């Protein structure tokens, strides 16, 4: 069974450089630190006058690279750019932190988040084809694409990002549980902020799943959103059979 270990985040005024998100100070789940065998879904995002998919990403700790699942930038008055990446933790060197980066115009907001999971399949923790992306303008509220899990016990994640001008957090969609979220309002006169949120739901096991849209910010004119849906596969069930000659 997949279990939520915990989440963590960093946020701040954007500039050239990196942020480290600790994997040893987790909250909200069953543990306070990641362990070997856990699975991390990391998210980083920033707002800017001009967004870029090439200048944001997740690199990991001690050069243990994460795999990018999705990168996107939306052209708006305040541009959001985001990256979703993942890693199955196989060694002690993986356990310290996750490095997120982005080269961003000074004064805009930047965030980084991690969600850590236990009981995820080590061979195929997720299947890229069982994920979907969406983006839009004139609204900060992430709208998610449908996914079709195939394995009982799977967990569906909704990872949402938006640019915004007011300090209002994103809220996970109906039937979803909050894993981690944060925002940062920039220092410029346009309040060039960025928000992100990861929510999850245990797949009911009978149909395709369209994660419910996130709510929260009400800005409409200058903001955009980036949304990603993905499916975590559980450890395979093992059956034990015994025989008797009596």
Q: Residue 91: inside a domain, yes or no?
A: yes
d(CA 126, CA 57): 19
Q: State the pLDDT at residue 83.
A: 92
Q: Residue 242: inside a domain, yes or no?
A: no
Q: Residue 246: inside a domain, yes or no?
A: no
Q: Residue 154: inside a domain, yes or no?
A: yes
Q: Which domain holds residue 170?
A: 3-232
Whether the predicted model's global pTM rises above the 0.85 cut: yes
Q: Residue 239: inside a domain, yes or no?
A: no
Q: Residue 244: inside a domain, yes or no?
A: no
d(CA 171, CA 173): 7
- The closest of 18, 110, 70 to 226, measured between CA atoms, is 70
Residues of the chain with pLDDT under 50: 239-246
Q: State the pLDDT at residue 239.
A: 41
Q: State the pLDDT at residue 12.
A: 81
- The closest of 170, 173, 124, 125 to 145, measured between CA atoms, is 173
Q: State the pLDDT at residue 104.
A: 63
Q: Residue 198: inside a domain, yes or no?
A: yes
Domain tally, the chain: 1
Query: DSSP 3-state assignment of 130?
Result: helix
């Amino acid at each position: 069974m997949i279990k939520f270990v915990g989440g963590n985040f960093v946020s701040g005024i954007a500039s050239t450089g990196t942020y480290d998100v600790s994997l040893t100070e987790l909250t909200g789940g069953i543990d306070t630190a990641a362990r070997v065998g856990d699975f991390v879904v990391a998210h980083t995002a920033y707002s800017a006058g001009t967004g870029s998919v090439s200048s944001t990403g997740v690199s990991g700790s001690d050069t243990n690279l994460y795999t990018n699942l999705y990168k996107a930038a939306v052209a708006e008055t305040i541009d959001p750019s985001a990256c979703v990446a993942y890693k199955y933790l196989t060694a002690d060197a993986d356990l310290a932190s996750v490095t997120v980066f982005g080269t961003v115009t000074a004064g805009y907001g930047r965030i980084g988040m991690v969600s850590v999971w236990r009981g995820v399949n080590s061979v195929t923790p997720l299947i890229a084809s069982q994920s979907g992306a969406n983006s839009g303008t004139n609204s900060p509220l992430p709208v998610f694409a449908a996914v079709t899990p195939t394995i009982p016990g799977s967990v569906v994640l909704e990872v949402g990002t938006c640019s915004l001008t007011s300090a209002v957090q994103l809220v996970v969609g109906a039937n979803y549980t909050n894993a981690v979220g944060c925002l940062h309002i920039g220092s410029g006169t346009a309040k060039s902020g960025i928000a992100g949120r990861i929510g999850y739901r245990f797949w009911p096991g009978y149909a395709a799943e369209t994660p419910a849209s996130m709510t929260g910010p009400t800005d409409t004119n200058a903001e955009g959103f980036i949304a990603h849906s993905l499916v975590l596969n559980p450890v395979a069930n093992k059956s034990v059979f015994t025989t008797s000659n009596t």
